[in-house]
Structure 1
Amino acid sequence: MRLSAKTGADVGVSTPKIPTATVPKADDFYIQAGDKYKKGDLQGAIADFNQAIKINPNFANTYYNRGIARSELRDKQRAITDYN
């Protein structure tokens, strides 16, 4: 099929025109959380950090940044937990 695409030969098969679903990654939620944090949506940022952690519990920067957001919301105890 790759060869036919290069040569322009019609083999009666084409790629689907509908988008293919992708599984969200921890990085996707981490980036979204950072955007929400910058906009002042601390609760939304924490929710996205939670999703990133659910997907990848070893993503250390996520815990740290969630701790910062929690600290700004004066949730000091949970912030400390995230820092540890």
Structure 2
Amino acid sequence: MNIPELLHTFHLPRNATPLAARVRVNRGDTYRILGRYDQARADFDRALRINPASARAYHGRARLLFETRDYARAIDDMRRALDLA
């Protein structure tokens, strides 16, 4: 299975639960790897709305921000991730 095919395996729960946040983080990581940054950002942002204490969501978004050269925000998100870890 290649990465684009992997995206079809992510089944999002209908309600806003911690599981839904984790699925969004995983899918966001996959989109980031594929260079689909807008979709990745949307998933990380949604994961953080569902679970504002998700260190993984902050970490994933920090990596995305770093890759898109938004260094100041990347540092802020990485600090939040470390504080929550």
User: Could you state the TM-score of these two structures normalised by the residue count of structure 1?
Assistant: 0.69
Q: Give ranges in structure 2 of 5+ residues lacking alignment.
A: 1-12, 80-85
| Counterpart position of 1:31 | 26
| Counterpart position of 1:40 | 35
Q: Give ranges in structure 1 of 5+ residues lacking alignment.
A: 1-20
Aligned residues: 64
Q: SS at the partner of 1:70?
A: helix
CA–CA separation in structure 1 for the residues paired with 2:14 and 2:38: 26
Task: Determine if the alignment matches structure 1 residue 80 to structure 2 residue 75.
Answer: yes
Task: Tell which structure's C-alpha radius of gyration is larger.
Answer: 1
CA–CA separation in structure 1 for the residues paired with 2:39 and 2:14: 22
Higher normalized contact order (CA 8 Å, seq sep 6+, divided by chain length): 2
Q: Percent identity?
A: 31
Question: What displacement does 1:22 show?
Answer: 2.8
RMSD (Å) for aligned C-alpha atoms: 1.5
Question: What displacement does 1:82 show?
Answer: 0.1
Task: Determine if the alignment matches structure 1 residue 22 to structure 2 residue 17.
Answer: no
Question: What displacement does 1:43 show?
Answer: 2.2
Contact in 1 for aligned 2:28/2:60 (Cα 8 Å): no
Give 1 or 2: higher helix fraction: 2
CA–CA separation in structure 1 for the residues paired with 2:14 and 2:73: 32
